[in-house]
Amino acid sequence: MIDPRLDGCAVKRIAFTEGQISERVRQLGDDVTAAYPEGDLLVLGLLKGSFIFVSDLVRQVRRSLQVDFLVVSSYGAEKVSSGNVRLVYDPQAELRGRHILLVEDIIDSGRTLGRVIEVLGEREPASIEVCALLDKHHATHLTHPPRFVGFTAPNEFLVGYGLDHAENFRHLPYIASLE
């Protein structure tokens, strides 16, 4: 397919269209709204991959909340997880006593999330749950399965809607797999 945003790179197929994503994000917003009847809710997006998902998701949640981000470094330009996870930016917000909703673009091995939950859990939040847009369902390292999942991801390398390959393609409004 020809899309000027791809700069000549071939896309194998579109895995999730813009319409499918927005419909599912709307439902996830309803689920999150229903899941937190009371208490202070802090939505924590894992940068950079979740930046579009967080911005769409929070606009579908009909309750008070705050938004912050954290930066974790894992993959670099590789297509496989190194398992080498670092907290590069730590959220400044107080976590104690608040409900934390961690928002992740895609769960692959689950190493990234496992490590982040470990670190944040020490700050005594009221709860920690995970909302992932995509789950590859081979997360064997996950002690804390995601409470909210948008889609089951095909076993392919995906780009778009925040997901990158070597920092490219994050701005695609759909999710595609690369050749």
3-state DSSP assignment of residue 105: strand
- What strand order describes the sheet that includes 158-159? 11-16, 175-178, 158-159
Residue 52 Cα distances to 9, 75, 123, angstroms: 22, 19, 27
Task: Name the DSSP class of 10.
Answer: P
33, 60, 81, 168: which one contacts ligand IMP (CB under 6 A)?
A: 81
Catalytic residue, chosen from 56, 105, 108, 135, is 108
Closest by CA position to 41, among listed 62, 71, 70: 62
Which two structure tokens, joined as six digits, stand for 10?
A: 């071939």
Q: How far is the CB of 126 from ligand IMP (least distance, A)?
A: 25
Size of the site for ligand IMP (CB under 6 A): 16
Is 90 annotated as catalytic? no
56, 105, 129, 135: which one contacts ligand IMP (CB under 6 A)?
A: 105
Binding string, residues 14-53; x marks residues near Mg ion by CB under 5 A: -----------------------------------x----
Q: Which window, 1-9, 12-20, 86-94, 100-108, contacts ligand IMP (CB under 6 A)?
A: 100-108
